[in-house]
Amino acid sequence: MTLDNLSVDMDLKDGRLGIKPFKARMFGGILNAQLDLLAQGKIGTLQAVLKIEQLDLGPILKERMGVQAVEGNLYADRNVKGRGSSVAGIMGSLDGKSVLTINKGKIATKYLDALGGDVSSVLFRMLGLSKDSQTTAVNCLVAGFNIKDGRAETTALVADTDQVSLTGDGEINLGAETLNITFNPSPKRATGTGTTGKITSGISELAKSFKLSGTFAHPSLALDTTQTATSIGKLVGVKVFLEPPNPRHQVRDRSCVCRRRKRPGKG
C-alpha cells in the first residue's frame, strides 16, 4: 500500500510497545493511529486508536484488487482495547467503538454482477440496483458499532442510494467470527400515502428484509423470510388503517361499520 509523508514514533521498553503516533497520507486521505501493547507473560493487553479522513476508495481498491468497484470518501474512527494470548483472544475480549462513514460514493454494477450466484442477485434486490446502469450513486453510508466483550452491536447502520434507503440492525461476534445483521430496505419510489390514504406501492416491494449471517470466512446474504412476514403483517395493518371505508360498503352493510366503531361495553 502506497504511503506518503510517513511519520512513526515507536518505543519498546520492558515488554511495552508504544506507537504514538503513526501518521501518513494515502490516496488523498490522512491516517492517524496510536497503539499500545503490553506483554505480561503469555497475555498481551492492547489499546489502539485509528482515525482516517477523506480516504479515496477508488484508487486504493484499484491498487489492492485491480478493480475500481467502489468510489467514495471514507472516514473512520475506532478506539478499542482488549487482552489475550493471541490476536483471536484479543478480538474476543475487545471493548470500544467503531464508526465508519462514506459519502459521495458510487458502485460499479458490473463488478457486483460478476460476484455471480445468489449473492449478486440479493445485492441488486437489496440496494435497488439496475443492471442496465453502469454505476449507482451511494449518497451516504454510516456504520456505527459499540463493542463489548468481543461483540459489536450496531448503533447506526444506514445506506442511502437514489433508489433505496437501507437500515440495518444486529451484531458481529469478533471472537466467534460470526455475523448476525438484518437489513431493511425502503424503496424511494414507494412514496407517500397521498390525500386518499392509499399506499401506492406493492406490499412485497416494501417488506423485503435481508439477513447477513454465517462466518467471516463464509458469509451468507439471503432473504429473511421471518422478518419479511412480520413486516408484511405490519404493513397490512397500516394499509387498512389508512384506507377510508368504501362508501358503497357502508350503505349495503351498516352493521359492519358499527361493529368496527363500537366501544367495549357499549353494546
Question: Beta-carbon neighbour count of residue 210 at 10 Å?
Answer: 22
pLDDT at residue 23 in the model: 97
Distance CA 77, CA 144 (A): 9
User: From residue 258, how far is each of 79, 124, 190, 251, 255 by CA, in Å?
Assistant: 60, 47, 33, 12, 5
Please give the pLDDT value at position 242.
42
pLDDT in tens, the chain (267 residues): 789 999 999 999 999 999 999 999 999 899 999 999 999 889 999 999 999 999 998 888 888 777 778 889 999 999 999 999 999 999 999 999 999 999 888 888 777 766 655 667 777 777 777 777 788 888 999 999 999 999 999 999 999 988 888 899 999 999 999 999 999 988 776 444 343 333 334 445 445 788 999 999 998 888 887 665 544 444 444 444 444 455 444 444 433 333 444 445 554
